[in-house]
């Protein structure tokens, strides 16, 4: 029965995925949605019966599926029937697959070591599937929902506002555009506070001081040197120096050009005393001439077009650090910005929501910044975001789990969004782990050894492959639908998410092993130098992993050609695509045309990722060392294990109608290798695949 259930719901999820990708169907009304949902379930039941040779399954399973869809729709009445079917099918398929895989070691009568290894694998699979379900929930909650939660701004409410512009080592040409735009802000009572944090060279910060004086009395310049606490420490001190009557704070990064109506349109939300902060999207400029920059642009916007609207439905948005407003009294009420956390904005918004406050997301973009031009700068930025997410998890995990003692007054929805907002970074660590496991499995298949973990053969092999393929398709579809971009640009955005898998893994391990904040240091290109070598150096680890995966897939297919081997090879090729995206991104970034302004921006800390404090190099070595140790231990155990003396035992779990037992043939030129069950890495933005489309500001 378990086999039929997991196949049925996996196929139902695949068929429904294809249906919702048809324009307009994801929000189909009941008259169109119910027949389509029934057709999908009947089709999945028919395919299941065909695969397992059990006609009873084709009749019983669709009825069971209808009950699951109705129950899901009852809890999500704002969704369409097709969306409810897709979520319920993936969720039930994941749960039943995990039950099936958990029972398999006992059915196969594995040793204690085999059972232990199988359950470690099961934990990895459960984590990846949970992330996949969450990413799908976000997508459907935005694209299929009929009702939106909106907060009205009171246009007559105009309290005193201070716009704070934190900067470090910024070229005056970049800041001149930002501050000139702020001088044109259409608002009667505003001060612009420019906070220069630890810029050592007076030739850099003195011209900024002069520029602020030239722009008039609305501008206030502060230079802090030396000053602890990164951006958070500088902003805390700047806030202390503000007049007491200023009640609203705005944060604008040093490279953003803000439109004049920003404050007049957004401040009115604070007429509601419950509102603690208002966040608008982080938008970008100067990207249309480069395929790499277009992909990067769409990969950024996904967070504000999908993740933030989904979180807004449960009052669970984050303050993203730029192009946002915050109530000063609430910020001071939580003790200000937390200086020991890198992503101070997201951490502060969690504590503010924990007071029972409201965070408002306004989908209109009111400013445009600049994206990192180099792949190194992008990696440093993503390292900070991921490390900050792990720091939040370490500090607040008790508040995010449902059944622990809580100090913060958060709803279930808020806890789950913030929990997955932190743990989704582990998707990239899972990707690395699955890659290593697949490589070891490939070696085992090539030399005809058996790993000490459960092995799944037969129709169940469809499940991980279906999870993988449909997850990638949903990610691409969500990107195209949210951003209205081409398939090529959607693939580039997905590739950029993949390209950051290794650096996010470094950040996760660093965050787990150390409480101290440290920034990633990666090679920088010298002006006028060779552009090829920096591109090679910045993606050396990822290129090596991609090469191993590619070679492993080819060698395994040549040594032991079979259907299970082909499925395993496809998964290895997918991992090769993930890590091979890093050298692609590195070389593509080197091909960006450097206009005169881009050359100036290349010196900006917003582009290079540089920060005032010196970081250690140890963070970059830890995951690599762990990977080598794990691989070495697995390889040693594999090479010293006795080869199989006969065909591996495989007993299918009971099926509807009959109980069957299948064994691989005992004769032939070589034993047919079986595939170690491996689920898809999180592949919807949730990218990650990794895509973990998540955003926070640079601290």
Class of residue 479 by CB neighbours under 10 A (exposed 0-12, middle 13-18, buried 19+): buried
pLDDT greater than 70 at residue 65? yes
Is beta strand 219-224 parallel, antiparallel or unpaired with respect to 190-197? parallel
Q: Summarize the confidence of residues 106-114 as an average pLDDT.
A: 88
Is beta strand 275-279 parallel, antiparallel or unpaired with respect to 358-361? parallel
Nearest 5°: the CA angle 79, 83, 89 is: 130
Task: Determine contact, residues 616/518, Cβ cutoff 8 Å.
Answer: yes
pLDDT of residue 386: 95
139-143, 617-621, 678-682: least confidently modelled range = 678-682
Confidence grade of residue 665 (pLDDT, cut at 50, 70, 90): very low
pLDDT greater than 70 at residue 563? yes
Residues contacting residue 344 through CB under 8 Å, at least 6 positions apart: 230, 231, 232, 321, 337, 338, 388, 699
pLDDT greater than 80 at residue 73? yes
Q: Summarize the confidence of residues 375-384 as an average pLDDT.
A: 93
pLDDT of residue 629: 55
Task: Determine contact, residues 611/168, Cβ cutoff 8 Å.
Answer: yes
* Residues 156, 157, 162, 164, Cα dihedral to 10°: -90
pLDDT of residue 518: 60
Q: Summarize the confidence of residues 339-366 as an average pLDDT.
A: 95
Higher pLDDT, 148 or 643: 148
Confidence grade of residue 620 (pLDDT, cut at 50, 70, 90): very low
Distances in whole angstroms, Cα of residue 584 to Cα of each of 176, 428, 460: 34, 18, 34
337-351, 354-368, 528-542: least confidently modelled range = 528-542
pLDDT of residue 655: 33
Q: Where are the domains of the chain?
A: 1-147, 161-373
Q: What is the pTM of this model?
A: 0.87
Question: Which pair of structure tokens corresponds to residue 112?
Answer: 């204690």
Backbone angles phi, psi at 335, to 5 degrees: 90, 15
pLDDT of residue 695: 44
* Residues 660, 452, 498, 524, Cα dihedral to 10°: -170
Using CA atoms, how far apart are residues 620 and 519, in angstroms rounded to an integer? 10
Q: What is the CATH number of domain 161-373?
A: 3.90.550.10
pLDDT of residue 636: 53
Q: How many helices (H) and strands (E) does the chain have?
A: 25, 12
Tens digits of residue pLDDT in 83-93: 999 999 999 99
Q: Is the dihedral of CA 582, 583, 584, 585 positive or negative?
A: positive
pLDDT of residue 627: 54
3-class DSSP string for 124-157:
HHHHHHHHHHHHHHHHHHHHCCCCCCCCCCCCCC
Q: Which of 335, 534, 568 is nearest to 445 (CA)?
A: 568
Confidence grade of residue 392 (pLDDT, cut at 50, 70, 90): very high
pLDDT greater than 70 at residue 185? yes
Mean pLDDT value across the chain? 86
pLDDT greater than 90 at residue 608? no
Q: Summarize the confidence of residues 239-244 as an average pLDDT.
A: 96
166-180, 264-278, 646-660: least confidently modelled range = 646-660
Confidence grade of residue 516 (pLDDT, cut at 50, 70, 90): low
pLDDT of residue 148: 76
pLDDT of residue 18: 95
Confidence grade of residue 55 (pLDDT, cut at 50, 70, 90): confident
Q: Summarize the confidence of residues 3-8 as an average pLDDT.
A: 94
pLDDT of residue 520: 61
Task: Determine contact, residues 260/347, Cβ cutoff 8 Å.
Answer: no
Tens digits of residue pLDDT in 38-51: 999 999 999 999 99
Residues contacting residue 187 through CB under 8 Å, at least 6 positions apart: 158, 161, 263, 264, 267
Backbone angles phi, psi at 10, to 5 degrees: -65, -45
Is beta strand 275-279 parallel, antiparallel or unpaired with respect to 324-327? antiparallel
What percentage of the chain carries pLDDT values higher than 90? Answer: 67
Confidence grade of residue 532 (pLDDT, cut at 50, 70, 90): low
Confidence grade of residue 614 (pLDDT, cut at 50, 70, 90): very low
Confidence grade of residue 282 (pLDDT, cut at 50, 70, 90): very high
Q: Summarize the confidence of residues 584-612 as an average pLDDT.
A: 91
């Amino acid at each position: 029965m378990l086999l039929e259930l997991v196949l049925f719901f996996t196929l139902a999820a695949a068929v429904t995925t294809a249906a919702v990708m048809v324009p307009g169907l994801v929000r189909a009304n009941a008259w169109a949605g119910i027949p389509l949902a029934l057709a999908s379930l009947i089709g999945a039941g028919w395919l299941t019966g065909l695969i397992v040779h059990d006609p009873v399954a084709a009749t019983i399973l669709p009825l069971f599926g209808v009950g699951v869809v109705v129950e899901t729709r009852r809890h999500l009445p704002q969704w369409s029937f097709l969306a409810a079917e897709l979520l319920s099918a993936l969720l039930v398929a994941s749960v039943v697959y995990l039950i099936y895989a958990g029972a398999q070691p006992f059915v196969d009568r594995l040793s204690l070591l085999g059972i232990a290894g199988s359950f470690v694998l099961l934990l990895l699979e459960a984590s990846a599937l949970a992330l996949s379900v969450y990413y799908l929930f976000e997508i459907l909650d935005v694209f299929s929902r009929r009702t939106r939660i909106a907060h009205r701004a009171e246009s007559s409410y105009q309290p005193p506002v201070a716009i704070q512009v934190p900067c470090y080592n910024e070229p005056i040409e970049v800041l001149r555009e930002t501050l000139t735009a702020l001088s044109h802000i259409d608002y009667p009572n505003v001060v612009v506070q420019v906070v220069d944090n630890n810029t050592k060279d007076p030739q850099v910060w003195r011209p900024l001081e002069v520029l602020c004086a030239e722009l008039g009395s609305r501008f206030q310049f502060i230079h802090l040197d030396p000053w602890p606490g990164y951006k958070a420490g500088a902003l805390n001190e700047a806030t202390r120096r503000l007049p007491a009557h200023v009640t609203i704070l705005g944060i604008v990064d040093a490279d953003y050009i803000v439109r004049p109506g920003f404050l007049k349109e957004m401040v009115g939300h604070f007429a509601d005393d419950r509102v603690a902060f208002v966040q608008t999207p982080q938008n970008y400029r100067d990207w249309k001439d480069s395929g790499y920059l277009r992909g990067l642009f769409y990969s950024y916007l996904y967070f504000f077009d999908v993740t933030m609207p989904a979180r807004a439905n449960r009052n669970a948005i984050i303050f993203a650090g730029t192009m946002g407003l915050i109530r000063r009294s609430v910020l001071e009420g939580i003790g200000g910005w937390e200086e020991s956390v890198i992503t101070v904005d997201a951490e502060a918004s969690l504590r503010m929501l924990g007071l029972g406050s409201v965070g408002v997301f306004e989908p209109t973009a009111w400013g445009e910044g600049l994206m990192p031009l180099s792949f190194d700068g992008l990696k440093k930025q993503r390292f900070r975001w991921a490390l900050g997410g792990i720091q939040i998890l370490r500090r607040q995990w008790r508040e995010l789990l449902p059944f622990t003692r809580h100090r913060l007054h958060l709803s279930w929805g808020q806890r789950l969004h913030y929990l997955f907002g932190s743990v989704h970074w582990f998707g990239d660590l899972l990707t690395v782990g699955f890659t290593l496991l697949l490589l070891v499995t490939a070696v085992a298949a090539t030399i005809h050894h058996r790993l000490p973990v459960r092995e799944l053969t037969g129709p169940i092999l469809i499940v991980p492959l279906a999870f993988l393929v449909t997850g990638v398709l949903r990610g691409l579809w969500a990107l195209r639908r949210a951003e209205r971009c081409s398939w090529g640009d959607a693939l580039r955005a997905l590739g950029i998410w993949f390209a950051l898998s290794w650096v996010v893994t470094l950040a996760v391990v660093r965050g787990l092993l150390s409480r101290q904040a440290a920034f990633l240091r990666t090679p920088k290109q010298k002006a006028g130098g060779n552009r090829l070598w920096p591109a090679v150096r910045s993606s050396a680890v990822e290129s090596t992993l991609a090469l191993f995966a590619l070679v492993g897939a080819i060698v395994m297919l040549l040594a032991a050609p079979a259907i299970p081997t082909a499925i395993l090879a496809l998964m290895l090729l997918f991992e090769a695509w993930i890590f091979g995206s890093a050298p692609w991104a590195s070389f593509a970034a080197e091909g960006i045309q450097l206009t005169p302004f881009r050359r100036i921006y290349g010196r900006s800390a917003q582009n290079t990722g540089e920060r005032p404090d010196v970081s250690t190099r140890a963070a970059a070595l830890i995951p690599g060392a762990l990977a080598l140790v794990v691989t070495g231990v697995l390889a040693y155990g594999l090479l010293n294990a006795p080869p199989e003396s006969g065909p591996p035992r495989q007993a299918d779990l009971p099926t509807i109608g009959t109980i069957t037992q299948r064994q691989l043939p005992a004769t032939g030129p070589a034993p047919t290798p079986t595939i170690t069950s491996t689920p898809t890495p999180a592949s919807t933005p949730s990218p990650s695949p990794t895509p973990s489309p998540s955003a926070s500001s640079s601290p």
